[in-house]
Amino acid sequence: MILVGRVSCAVDDLKNLQIVQKWWETMADLMENHPNNTPIFQPLPEVFHMA
């Protein structure tokens, strides 16, 4: 998916798009997910910080 120009929805709303839900369904066997195929997010530790 390529976003060009103005986006009509916020990043938080992307989870509601059919294409995103289809992608999660396709990738369900390859990643940890909830029963509804939404990915399980785990925060990553900060490795370095550029000021």
pLDDT confidence of residue 13:
85
Element (H, E) at 20: helix 18-27
pTM for the full predicted model: 0.61
Answer for the pair 34, 40: CB distance below 8 angstroms, yes or no: yes
Q: Cβ contacts of residue 45 below 8 Å, gap of 6+? A: none
> For residues 1 and 26, which has the higher predicted lDDT (pLDDT)?
26
> Is the per-residue pLDDT at 49 higher than 80?
yes
Q: What angle do CA 39, 43, 44 make, to 5 degrees?
A: 120
Neighbours of 23 (CB within 10 A): 14
Rounded CA separation 36/21 (Å): 9
Q: Give the pLDDT of residue 39.
A: 92
pLDDT, tens digit (0-9, with 9 covering 90-100), for 3-48: 666 656 677 888 889 999 999 999 999 999 999 999 998 899 999 9
